[in-house]
Structure 1
Amino acid sequence: MTSPSADTLRSRYVEQAASDLEDNRRRQQELTEKIKMLEQEEALLVDIMHLAERHEGARPAAPRPERKKPSPTREKAAQPLLGDLLVELLAQYEEPRLARELRDELMQKHPDRSPTPQVVRNTLESLVAKGRIQRHKQQRSVMYTSTESGPAGTDG
């Protein structure tokens, strides 16, 4: 036999579990929609990148007269990719690093680069998907480490 207080407690647990499940389902739906949106953005960016590569390949060998000064686009093209810079930064540490820490260090070492926090997180997640780095969740924080053993420049 159960007491009224045990029934009330059980009822509250059931209500809370149902509420948590509903919140979880709603969050899963939101994330599913966000993933679809990001996949569409990725496809668009890949298309743009392919078009840009084809456009670069179609350019005449001789530079045009109005291109005597180097264009900002060329300077950016000569810069290393953000993902490569982040992998290099991570390789210097054995301990996991927050995206915010990596962004701050990147901007300090490369003052000409100023990616948004979201761009850094997206790039890090892309690197995780490619197996170039690892993701670690500690409580509510997401941290990243290099997949290489030990810091850069050490024999290991």
Structure 2
Amino acid sequence: MSENTTTSTELTSQYAAQVTSDLERNLKEQERVSGEIAALQEQLDTLQQDHTVLVNMQQALGITLRPEKPATAPEQAAVPAPRKKAATRSSGTARAKKSSAALSRPRSRKSASKPPVAATTTTPPSLVELIRQHLAGQSEPRSTAEVAAALDQAHPDRGIKNTVVRTTLENLVAKGQAQRTKQGSSVYYIAPDTGRPTSSAPTATQQQEEAQSEEAQ
């Protein structure tokens, strides 16, 4: 029991010392703040007295009261501010409309110039023309496989097949636009001799045969 009593007594004395120290600090702070308040109050009284003297002098001299103007100036300036913004917005909208109109004009011209460009595009040559040109550039007879391989290499997007090339070559031989030679069991084709007459323009039957060969491709 004596130890508990001693411990509580020590705690009480510590708390009492802490409270006493806090109270002293609080009183000193109150004195400091009170002194500042008194000094500020004295300054305020002095300013109020000076203001009264200045107002009396102003009234005696008949000078218009000017301190009110700065108070009204912000209100007057605040009125045109939205108008300026509105003006800038309207001018920005007008500029945007002009720029959009300027952009739309070249587009209309481009669209008007598109048909001539489409008209000048050339269609790719037919398979008959490709085979005829290939044979004309060869000095020796070529087999169907050789002709098909050469055309497929030159035009990989056409998907040229041997069977279609053979049919087209036979049609050219039938029309006198190619010659067929045979070496053993192999068949070769070459362009016709210059002395041999060839039709300069295909007949209706030839055109039909060319169309059928193209459909088979």
TM over 0.5, shorter chain: no
Q: TM-score, length-normalised on structure 2?
A: 0.32
Instruction: Tell which structure's C-alpha radius of gyration is larger.
Output: 2
Q: Give the structure, 1 or 2, with the largest relative contact order (CA under 8 Å, sep 6 or more).
A: 1
Greater fraction helix: 2
